[in-house]
Amino acid sequence: MKSTSKNKTLINTILYALNALFCVIFIVPLYFAIVNSFNSLYGAPVVIPKHFEYINYYYAVTLIPFMRYLKNSIFIVGTALGLSFVFNFMYGYAFARLPAKGSKPLFNLTLMQMMIPSFAIQIPQYIFFSQLGVKDTLWIWVLNGIAGTPFIIFMYRQYLYQIPKEIEDAAIIDGCNCFNIIYHVFLPVSKTIIAVAMFYEFIAHWGDYMTPFMYLTEKNYPLSIALFGLKYVLPQNPSLQMTPVLNAAALLLSIPVFIVFILCQKQLVEGVVTGSVKG
Amino acid sequence: MLIKRSQETNKIVKKGIQYKMRAKAFYVIMIPYLIMMLCVKGFPFAWGLYISFTNFTGFNIDKLKMVGINNYLRVFTDNEAISSIGRTFGISLIVVPLSICICLLLSLLLYANIKGIGVFRTIYYLPSIIPSIAVVTMWKGMFVKEGGLLNMVSKLFGGQSINWLGYDYARKALIIMLLWGAGSGILTNLAAMKAVPNDLYEAAEIEGAGYFTKLFKITLPLISNMIYMNLVTGIIAMLQLFGQPVLLTATAGAGLTALPIRPIYTYLVHVYQQIFVNLRFGYGLAMVWVIFTVIMLLTIVVDKTSKYWVNNEMN
């Protein structure tokens, strides 16, 4: 008996040690970027912070039209997320709860789309739309939003499919139509999976540089592409390498991602299975 | 008797109406889906296939010439295309298996259910969701020759300082950076591990099985569908590797059309060069279709082998 408990502490210690080791490895690049985003503009990179230069963050936001980029980002991500929520949920609901002729082949088509790598759609789509003169508008996000995200549709479908039938009976007896049922019955029970889907969509659109690069001009660039290959130039000293400011900008771009992850963490841990276990 | 029957018929009638109503709602919902999917994705996709057989360069849409399979032949005679696909495969062959193993290891470490699991999980998972532009900026700071952390450490141990972003080490640097995001699958892996019934482990323990026996005989087979998923998505993601190399070692050019240095000049970078710089749309689309076919074939091969190593009984 004694030996097993001893064994257990030993195993736990080893596990902690390994976890700690990997955590250090995984956190180091982030730590180094954070520390150096506060570093002096004129100093060499440091491992242990000596002083905190908040001015780097000020430069990161003011030397480029940061607020404009941020506004564009919010517009794009907002459009994409809003449409994704409304349409993908409806599509998932229709596949899961509305038996009709043609449902199965359409669903198979959705599954097939999941297998197609994104560039194989994106590139021809860009060439096609550039021929039509579609440029510099949010339309491409609107159209793609209505066209649905196959993976998200699949996730909603899997989740809504396994909800017991009885839950909507009361609503049907009350004479609710399908859209009322969605609103009063299925939306409230799907909070977890909606959070997971929104999280995935947010990550995909917030960091996406490909679509904005193809369809937008500099004026309408969101943050993700605006920071791409960006060089900060200090008016007083144009030749100065502003690595700390770049680090600050990169961290500012990452902060929303951290926040969204922490907000959705609980739902992600619970709901992540639904979409990933092939059904 | 009569009343009962009429009630039953009522039910059937009601059911019939309901079915019709539901089918109608289904079609109403599906109309925008089908139309938009065909217009925005399906049609451009098929049109791209057609264009890949023409000499389209962006301005000659009125007098397109069919060039047959010339564009495709050119892909296989274009030295850049062939060597870049080799490079892409080389990087994928290292990154995909390694990240699957790292991800599994991290998931196993987290599965032990020790205190502080939430913190560990967050730290492993975060790097995989940070926008890649930010990831590259952070890692550039690590790799830089003067004052990069990696060289600081190597100097500490008396080593030479390495030009990580130079010709000899850029590939290794890129691989290290990509492996930083290996934690992307830990949430799904963990969920799958938690779904393994506990009595299997208990039964194995009674028979005196050790940790590794349990790992290889129970855990791994039962989460093999997750490994399969990680493998397929990993292959697809790595073969379309594009942004990271460009960002990491951009030399000539600006933004996304910049050229990365040779050792990490991947296939998709070559495709984007053809399309956005040289405006060879026909050729570029032929290249897209070649790598698309390769990816599809690989997926099919993996799927065919899956019956030997993927356990599907769980679902």
In B228-287, the residues whose Cβ lies within 8 Å of chain A are 229, 236, 239-240, 242-243, 247, 250, 254-256, 258, 268, 271, 275, 281, 284-285
Average pLDDT, chain B: 87
Cα A203 from Cα B176, distance rounded (Å) = 22
Q: How does pLDDT run across B38-92, given as a tens digit for each residue?
A: 999 999 999 999 999 998 887 777 778 888 888 999 989 988 899 999 999 999 9
Whether A174 shows a pLDDT value over 90: the answer reads no
Ranking A64-78, A163-177, A259-273, B149-163 by mean pLDDT, the lowest is A163-177
Predicted confidence (pLDDT) at residue A278 exceeds the cutoff of 50: no
Tell whether the model's pLDDT for residue A109 goes beyond 80.
Answer: yes
How high does pLDDT run on average in chain A?
Answer: 87
User: What value does the CA radius of gyration of chain B take, rounded to a whole number of Å?
Assistant: 27
Bridge partners of A237, per DSSP, are A234
Per the CB < 8 Å rule, is A246 touching B109?
A: no
pLDDT at A145: 94
Q: Inform me whether the C-beta atom of residue B173 falls under 8 Å from chain A C-beta atoms.
A: no
Interface of B with A in 112-151 (CB under 8 A): 112, 114, 116, 118-127, 129-134, 137-139, 141-142, 144, 146-149
Query: HSE of B240 in the Cβ direction (CA atoms, 13 Å)?
Result: 21
**Model confidence at A212: pLDDT above 80:** yes
The answer to whether B203 faces chain A, any CB pair under 8 Å, is: no
Segment B278-283 shows an average pLDDT of: 90
Close Cβ partners of B118 (under 8 Å, ≥ 6 residues apart):
A265
Show residues of chain B in contact with A186, CB under 8 Å: none
Residue B311 confidence (pLDDT) above 50? yes
Instruction: Say whether residue B208 is in contact with chain A using an 8 A CB cutoff.
Output: no
**pLDDT tens-digit series, residues A123-159:** 999 989 888 888 888 899 999 999 999 999 999 998 9
Highest mean pLDDT among A185-189, A273-277, B176-180: B176-180
Per-residue model confidence (pLDDT) at position B153:
87
Question: How far away is chain A from the Cα of B111, in angstroms, using its nearest Cα?
Answer: 10
Which chain B residue has the Cα nearest residue A268?
B187
Tracing tokens 């992540």 back to the chain, one arrives at: A272
pLDDT band at A28 (very low <50, low <70, confident <90, very high): very high
The answer on pLDDT for A176 being more than 80 is: no
Instruction: For chain A, say whether B195 makes contact (Cβ under 8 Å).
Output: yes
Residue A279 has pLDDT above 60, yes or no: no
Residue A2 confidence (pLDDT)? 45
Tell me which chain A residues have a C-beta less than 8 angstroms from the C-beta of B155: none
Closest approach of A117 to chain B, Cα-based (Å): 6
Q: How many other β-carbons are positioned within 10 Å of the β-carbon of residue A184?
A: 14
- Determine the pLDDT at residue B67: 85
Give backbone dihedrals phi and psi of B241, rounded to 5 degrees, phi first.
-60, 125
Q: Are B270 and B80 in contact (CB under 8 A)?
A: yes
Nearest one of B51, B73, B120, B90 to B285, comparing CA atoms: B51
Higher per-residue pLDDT: B30 or B310: B30
* Nearest residue in B to A43, CA atom: B147
Gap between the terminal Cα atoms of chain A: 44
The structure tokens listed for A214 are 């193809």
Q: Where are the beta strands (DSSP E) in A25-154?
A: none
Q: What is the pLDDT of residues B185-242, one digit of tens each?
A: 899 898 888 888 888 888 988 888 888 888 888 888 888 888 998 999 999 999 999 9
Q: How far apart are CA B58 and CA A127, in angstroms?
A: 8
pLDDT confidence of residue B11? 63
